[in-house]
Structure 1
Amino acid sequence: MPTSNDMQKVLDIQDKNIIFKDNCVTYGVFKGRRCKFIECTLSYTPKECQNCQIPNQDYTIYKNGTQTSRITFPMSGIVPTFLRMKKQRFMCKACKETFTAQTPLVENNCFISTYIKAHILTKSADACSIKDISKETNVSEATVQRVITKEAKHYRPHNQSLPKHMSFDEFKYASGRMAFEYINAQTGDILDILPAKDSRFVKKHFTSNYSLRQRERVETVTVDMNASYVSFIPVLFPKAHIIIDRFHIVQLVNRSMNRTRVKVMNQFNTSNGEDLKKYRRLKHYWKKMLKKESELSYTTYKSYKLFGQRLESAIVSDMLAYDKELETTYRVYQSIIKAVEENDHKRLESIVTQSYSSDLSSYMKTSLKTLRKHLKMIKNTFEYPYNNGRIEGINNKIKVLNRVAYGYRNFLNYKNRIILHFNLNPTKTKVNQKKKVNTKTA
């Protein structure tokens, strides 16, 4: 038969005041489900009264019966598990008040063990829904959300200071609505998340939570080419340099190049056999048209569908010969990619500002016009090492949380889940940065 010490080890209970007797495990039914009940007793000699704090001397405090509580415990086996704990009650002669024995296993006036709450927080760091956590911990969905909300309060921003380098971005969360977030560009820590991204709302948030002196300390703000960000950043952060994320620069011209390819490709979708051959080639090898010219193979022959034994570079050259507009756009695209890769702002400026013939596609002309507007900020892109890589990675994980949960109707609950997810599940980069800081301090 198991002893009290054995049961404490099996259930991982550290409180020695909880006593288990033989044959303490029984089975029964609770809320229509078969459950396991474990009988135990909590008793000890209190040092003082919990109400008046008078020391327990000369039997000032005496035992006054017991109170049985049903405590939700982590599942032991395959059925829900509950502790039926008989808590000792005490009477104080001085204040004539009663109180109940307490244990770290469960909070006062609560019937959910701290082990369950710890398990909820552990699971909330993973990409799983509130409903799944509820089923696994044998508590209601409202309880799970309540535990998450309570813990998230410890990680909420206090709006006391701003880092020198920040990143701005937005993400979609419910019914097409967009939320705005800003993070520390150096550490990747989420500073805050706002339920709307319109400039008026963002301005009000920063001006009401941060003083002008705090906002003047910001040195750089990394954004994409969103026009609203570029308009209000100089107002909110007078001394900050705007950095355009280099990924969005490449993405802009990449999309223009691809749309040009699709336009030319569709012109060959005719009944003519030669035209159809060109159509299929442009459709099948679209990735090679977007690939960096320096990464194409110029020495190795391979067998390619629709081409036969050819060089990779020769395949691209043949497709460019199909149309003058496609070739001109490709040359501009490759020159911009190379300028960005080499951080050559002067070369990029000359490419963007020079006049082109009518052979250049309208898509690429529009992209060049956009780049001309942001040339000054793109120069900061080449001078500073910051980008939106961290915030884009955070957004990808946020979208996974939203997809797993099938959306959140309450933005505050969604925000608490996001904050808790990233604070309880830190990335390897953050851990390595903390180790470096500790090493320098030592």
Structure 2
Amino acid sequence: MPTSNDMQNVLDIQDKNMIFEDNCVSYGIHKQKKCKFIDCTLTYIPTECKKCQEPNKDFSIYKNGTQTSRITFPISGIYPTYLRVKKQRFKCTSCEATFTAETPIVKEACFISNFIKAEILAKSADARSIKSLAEETNVSSTTIQRIINEQVKYYRPYYHSLPENLSFDEFKYGNGQMAFEYIDVVTGTILDILESKDTRTIKDHFCSRYSQNQRNQVKTITTDMNASYVSFIPELFPNADIIIDRFHIVQLVNRAMNKTRVKVMNRLRTSNGEDQKKYRRLKRFWKKLLKKESELSYTTYQYFPMFGQRLESAIVSEMLAYDPELKATYTMYQAILKAVEHNDSKQLRTVLDQPASPELSGYMKTSLKTLSAHFPHIQNTFYYPYNNGKIEGINNKIKVLNRVAYGYGNFIHYKNRIILHFNLKPIRNKIKMIEKEREHTAA
């Protein structure tokens, strides 16, 4: 039969004051579920009274019965597991107060073990829903969220300084609502998340949280082409250069080019057989028209459906010949991609300043006007090494958290979940790496 030490080792309990007897494991029903109960006794000789701190001399503190507590424990096997701890009660002859024996595996007046709380926090580093965490740890969803809210207090934003390089962006939550976040663009650390992205909320936040001197120390702010951000940044951060993220520059002209293709494609959707063939080609090989011209193959023949054995560059040239608007837009699209690829602001300025071809699509003309309006900030894109890559990656993970939870009705709970997830995951990964190194060393 297992000894008390064996049970302590199996359950990873370090408290030697918990004594397990033979046949301490039994099965029963709790909350209409079959579960496992593990009985033990918690007793020791106290050194002093918990109430009056009088030392225990000449048996001034004596045993005064027991009190049984049911403590939720990590699932052992396939059934929910509970420790039924028979806690020793004591009475002090000096102050006539009574108190109960304590153990480090659970907090006073709490029935959820610290093992469960540690397991919840460890699993919070994964993109898991609150409900699935609750089912795996045998506690309620409310308990999971309460533990997360308590732990996130240790990761509160530090409002006494700002890094020199920031990054701004927003993400969607709830019923189409947009939240604003800003991070340290160098380290990728989330500094804070605001419930709304409107100018008033953002300005009130930075003015109330940070002094003018702290905001003056910011040198660069990387953002997309959001007109509201560009309008208030000079007011809040007078010494900061605005960097328009190069991804959004490419994305802007990419969408203009694709919309032009769709427009021309739909124009060819007629009863004419030749037009139908052109329509199908434009629909199937849309990626070829968005590809960089320098990446097209000019030497290797391949078989393409609806074209036959052809060069990749040749089929692009043939599709561009279908419509002058498509060809003019493609030429402008490739010129902008080339300027961005080579970090050549002068070349981009030349492209934007040249008279627009009358055959250029309206979508591309609108994109050119947007680029011209933001050109002073686009120049900084070619000068500084910063971009919105880290904050976009963070947003992708945030969206996953929202999706697996089927949305959050409470923004504070959602924010706390995000902050805890991004703070605990690096710690957990580091622990795993250390454990692997230990195993490798031991081997």
- TM bin (shorter chain): over 0.9
Secondary structure at the counterpart of residue 180 of structure 2? strand
Task: Name 2:440's counterpart in structure 1.
Answer: none
CA contact (8 A) 2:39 2:85 kept: yes
Q: Give the aligned residue type for 1:295.
A: E
1:64 aligns with 2:68: no
Indicate the residue corresponding to 2:117 in structure 1.
Answer: 117
1:35-72 Cα distance to aligned partner (Å, 9 max, x none): 11110011112222222222223323222211110000
Matches within 5 A, 1:198-347: 198-347=198-347
Contact between 2:252 and 2:367, CA under 8 Å: does it hold in 1?
yes
Partner of 1:15: 15
Is the deviation greater in 367-376 or in 97-106?
Answer: 97-106
What CA distance in whole angstroms lies between the structure 1 residues aligned with 2:428 and 2:243? 25
- 1:29 is aligned to 2:23: no
Q: In 2, Cα distance between the equivalents of 1:58 and 1:292?
A: 89
CA contact (8 A) 1:164 1:217 kept: yes
Letter matched to residue 188 of structure 1? G
Distance 1:363 1:327 in 2: 14
Q: C-alpha separation between the residues in 2 aligned to 1:278 and 1:153?
A: 61
Asked whether the equivalents of residues 92 and 98 of structure 2 are also in contact (C-alpha less than 8 Å), the reply is yes
> What's the CA shift for 1:265?
1.1
- Residue matched to 1:394: 394
Deviation at 1:406, TM superposition (A): 0.7
Residue 130 of structure 1: aligned partner? 130
| Sequence identity percentage | 69
Distance, in Å, in 1 between the alignment partners of 2:429 and 2:67 is: 50
1:151 aligns with 2:154: no
**SS of the counterpart of 1:151?**
helix
* TM-score, L = length of structure 2: 0.95
How many residues were matched structurally? 431
Q: After alignment, is 200-209 or 320-329 more displaced?
A: 320-329
Q: Which amino acid aligns with 2:372?
A: R
**Is there any run of 5+ residues in structure 2 with no aligned partner, and where?**
432-443
Deviation at 1:93, TM superposition (A): 2.1
Pairing 1:419–2:419 present: yes
| Amino acid aligned to 2:175 | S
> Residues 405-426 of structure 1, C-alpha deviation per residue, up to 9 Å, x if partnerless?
1111110000000001111112
- Aligned equivalent of 2:49: 49
Deviations 1:5-25 (A, max 9, x none): 111111111111111000111
Which 4+ runs in 1 deviate beyond 6 A? 427-431
Which residue type is aligned with residue 376 of structure 1? Answer: P
1:87 aligns with 2:58: no
Q: Is the 8 A contact 1:173 1:402 kept in 2?
A: yes
Deviations 1:273-330 (A, max 9, x none): 1111111111111000000000000110011101111000011111111111111111
AA at the equivalent of 2:307: F
Q: Distance in 1 between matches of 2:130 and 2:109?
A: 24
8 A contact 1:187–1:430 mirrored in 2:
no
Partner Cα distance (1:332, 1:420) in 2 = 45
Secondary structure (helix, strand or coil) at the match of 2:75 reads coil
Contact 2:130-2:145 at 8 Å conserved across structures: yes
Q: Which amino acid aligns with 1:233?
A: I
Letter paired with 2:200: R
Q: TM-score, normalised by structure 1?
A: 0.95
Q: Distance in 2 between matches of 1:418 and 1:3?
A: 44
Q: 3-state SS of the aligned residue for 1:74?
A: strand
Q: Which runs of 5+ in 1 are unaligned?
A: 432-442
State the secondary structure of the residue aligned to 2:188.
coil
Tell me the distance in 2 between the aligned counterparts of 1:12 and 1:350: 70
Distance of 1:220 and 1:260 partners within structure 2: 35
What CA distance in whole angstroms lies between the structure 1 residues aligned with 2:102 and 2:389?
49
Change (3 A) 1:428 1:10: closer
Deviations 1:322-354 (A, max 9, x none): 111111111110010010011000000111122
Partner of 1:40: 40
| Cα offset, 1:158, TM superposition | 3.0
Q: Summarize the Cα distance change of 1:428–1:17 in structure 2 as closer, same or farther, 3 Å threshold.
A: closer
